[in-house]
Amino acid sequence: MDLRNIFFFLALFSFLYSKGQEQPKPKGRQINIVYGANFTKDEEKFPGASIFSKDDERQVQFEHQGADLWCDIAIFYSKENRLKAIGNVRMQQGDSIEMNSGKMDYNGDTKLAKAWEKVDLADGQMTLTTDTLYFNREKQESYYRSGGKVVDSVNVLTSIIGTYFTELKKVQFRKNVHIDNPEYTIDSEQLDYYRVSKNAYMYGPSTIVGDEYTIYCERGFYDTKIEQGYGVKNTTINYSNRIIEGDSVYFDKVTSFASATNNIIVTDTINKGIIRAHYAEIFKEKDSVFATKRAVAINLVEQDSIYIHGDTLMVTGKPEERILRAFRNAKFYKTDLSGKCDSIHSEQKTGITQLITDPILWNVDNQMTGDSIHLISDLETEKLDSLKVINNAFIIALDTISKTGYNQAKGKDLFGKFIDNSLEVIDLVKNTEVIYYMYNDDQELIGIDKTICSKIRMHMKNNDIDELIFYVNPDGDIFPEKDLPVDSRKLKGFIWRGEERILNKEAIFDEDDNNITLVKIRGIDDEVDIDTEEQERSGNGQPTTKISKINTKATKPKRPVLKKVGS
């Protein structure tokens, strides 16, 4: 035995003897020396410590409760059951966790390790690198506070603060969180990442940017493998030419599909149209939107928005060929024009909006009905251009002075002309009839005009009749009020529906629309145990994520000019 080995054994004997005089540690708590190599002491610099250094064969090695540690130099305080490892430090726990660093402090009583200088922690599928890493073996948690990076087979994740939960195989990133992926990037204030499933759970302002989409939310989930997820707080998706907002918004890149629940706004960024609803589905490949639950489409027409509602709304087609359909209980409103019917079909390419099945239209105080009603827009200016009422056209307005009689006109078809979005000219053709209350300039009733002819033209001013022109053999007269019986003051087919008139944009919704019970979305107002949610998801479970009143005024009526042509 050479002198070096004799010296080592004497030192070791002295160390073990002194150790025996100390208060014994709980069983299994003491750090064990596996290979001490070179031994020395330096009481001036490291009082009470034993110093071990590697030899030509191998590094110094220690073992503690299932973990092994190798280093070039170890300063071991046996009494305090702690050591300082220096140079090429490597700690291995079982077959899964390996940590490397330049230096490490380890406490056997608390099982706390602090590693610094080019630290990396790997578990076979993920590598964490940082300048300083703390490892709590008791809780099986490691964390950094001065910036770190995690790399796995899919993503590169960085943050200022991070915690790795070994048993859950989860990393919690905080402050300036960033994910780099070849297909997208994610930025967040806090993000919990499960390294096996590659699922990410986001908190605080978070943004995901892909090739064809941008997602913002303040609480959300994202499957980073397949680019699928949802947001449940202040969520916005910029998806091709649409922006989708809602309490809960779901997104799936593979199927090019998004859906939203509660307080939804879908904005057409090209045509500047908006859909509001409490449930909507967006199909990118089909360029379509389906919306229901208090659904309304809003489009701007010359500084005046038009609101279209139905139990269900569908918008399909490319931006320049959009088709809007409102099904069942369809209604629309703008300040001087409103209507209702069973369904509405509006086609951007032709500029035609059809009111289908039992349609009724109000131009301020004027009620119009017929078998079918068409509104036609100018394709260049997008202003309202004309109006058609096909078959059984009937127009009625309450006499605004007497408040008892009704001005009426009917014919087979009605054609109207808008000027600057205001209805200025109305033509009734074929078998036309009129009943009209005539007043002088002092608003005194002159009589009631009752005429039949082949065609009637009405010139409108301030939404009231300014001039009446009768064409081709008009037959009729102005009757004093006392000479025209009450039952003769209504044309055949007269039905007054004034109580149904839509007076403001809120009136397009009925009682059922206003009493919808919104779906409760987990995670908006309450805390969610995301570890449980992740277990549900990994086990194929499906976690639940899931306007001012404008009054129309009747202008003061005046005596219209009557012209009879062809008598």
| 457-513 pLDDT tens trace | 999 888 788 888 998 888 988 999 899 998 899 999 999 999 999 999 999 999 988
- Give Cβ neighbours of residue 90 (< 8 Å, ≥ 6 apart): 69, 70, 71, 98, 99, 100
What value does the mean pLDDT of the chain take? 86
In the prediction, which pLDDT does 20 show? 44
**Tens digit of each residue's pLDDT (9 = 90 or more) over 74-86:** 999 999 999 999 9
Q: Which of 117-131, 192-206, 222-236, 540-554 has the lowest mean pLDDT?
A: 540-554
pLDDT at 305 over 90: no
Per 3-state DSSP, the chain is made up of helix, strand and coil in percentages (nearest 5) of 10, 55, 35
217 to each of 144, 437, 500, 519, 543, how far by Cα in Å? 26, 61, 41, 19, 18
Residue 19: enclosing H or E segment and its boundaries?
A: helix 3-21
Q: What's the confidence (pLDDT) of residue 33?
A: 94
With CA atoms as reference, report the closest residue to 374 among 359, 363, 389, 362: 389
C-alpha span between 401 and 414 (Å, rounded): 26
Assess whether pLDDT exceeds 90 at residue 559. no
Range with the poorest average pLDDT among 162-171, 194-203, 233-242, 447-456: 233-242
Confidence of residue 53 (pLDDT cuts 50, 70, 90): very high
Flag whether pLDDT at 22 surpasses 50.
no
CB contact at 8 A, 206 and 214: no
- Choosing among 1.10.3470, 2.60.450, 3.40.50, 2.60.40, the CATH entry for 359-504+552-567 is 2.60.450
Q: Under CATH, which number does the domain 147-350+508-546 receive?
A: 2.60.450.10
Per-residue pLDDT, 563: 56
Kindly state the tokens that stand for 301.
Answer: 């027409």
Q: Which CATH number fits domain 29-129: 3.20.20.140, 3.30.559.10, 2.60.40.1930, 2.60.450.10?
A: 2.60.450.10
Measured between alpha carbons, how far is 543 from 529 in angstroms, rounded to an integer?
A: 11
Q: Is the pLDDT of residue 11 over 50?
A: no
Q: What are phi and psi of 269, to 5 degrees?
A: -70, -20
Task: Report residue 57: phi and psi, to 5°.
Answer: -95, -45
Sign of the four-CA dihedral 167, 169, 172, 173: positive
Is the four-CA dihedral 453, 457, 459, 460 of positive or negative sign? positive
Strand 112-122 and strand 97-107: the pairing is antiparallel
Q: What is the mean pLDDT of residues 54-61?
A: 94
pLDDT higher than threshold 90 for residue 100:
yes
Residues shown for the chain: 567
Tokens in use for 317? 């087609």
Phi-psi region of 247 (alpha: psi -120 to 50; beta: other; left: phi over 0): alpha
Supply the pLDDT for residue 24: 52
Phi, psi angle pair for 41, to nearest 5°: -135, 155
Domain segments of the chain: what residues? 29-129, 147-350+508-546, 359-504+552-567
Identify each DSSP E strand in 137-241 by its residue range. 141-144, 148-152, 156-159, 161-165, 170-181, 184-194, 199-210, 213-223, 228-231, 235-239
- The per-residue pLDDT for 566 is 53
Of all residues in the chain, the percent with pLDDT exceeding 90 is 63
Confidence at residue 565, expressed as pLDDT on a 0 to 100 scale:
57
pLDDT at 547: 25
Q: Is the pLDDT of residue 380 over 90?
A: no
Q: Which among 268, 316, 256, 267 is positioned nearest to 288, based on CA atoms?
A: 316
- Lowest-pLDDT choice from 63-72, 214-223, 288-297, 537-546: 537-546
For the chain, give the longest Cα–Cα distance.
Answer: 143
Residue 240 clears pLDDT 60, i.e. is over it: yes
Is residue 102 within 8 A of residue 120, CB to CB? The reply is no
Q: What is the pLDDT of residue 285?
A: 83
Across the range 544-549, mean pLDDT stands at 32
Q: Give the bridge partners for 551, in sequence order.
A: none
Using an 8 Å Cβ cutoff, are 456 and 428 in contact? Answer: yes
Looking at residue 211, what DSSP letter applies?
S
Tell me the mean pLDDT in the region 438-466. 89
CA atoms within 13 A on the CB side of 515: 3
Do 147-350+508-546 and 359-504+552-567 come out as alike in CATH topology?
yes
Q: Which three-class secondary structure state does DSSP give residue 534?
A: helix
For residue 562, pLDDT over 90 is answered with no
| pTM of the predicted structure, to 2 decimals | 0.78
Q: How far apart are CA 222 and CA 199, in angstroms?
A: 6
Q: So what's the pLDDT on residue 18?
A: 43
Tell me: the pLDDT tens digits for 250-284?
999 988 899 999 999 999 888 888 999 999 999 98
**CB under 8 A, 24+ apart: contacts of 309-318:** 309/508, 309/509, 309/513, 310/343, 310/344, 313/275, 313/277, 313/289, 314/288, 314/289, 314/290, 315/268, 315/273, 315/275, 315/288, 315/289, 316/286, 316/287, 316/288, 316/289, 317/287, 317/288, 317/348, 318/287
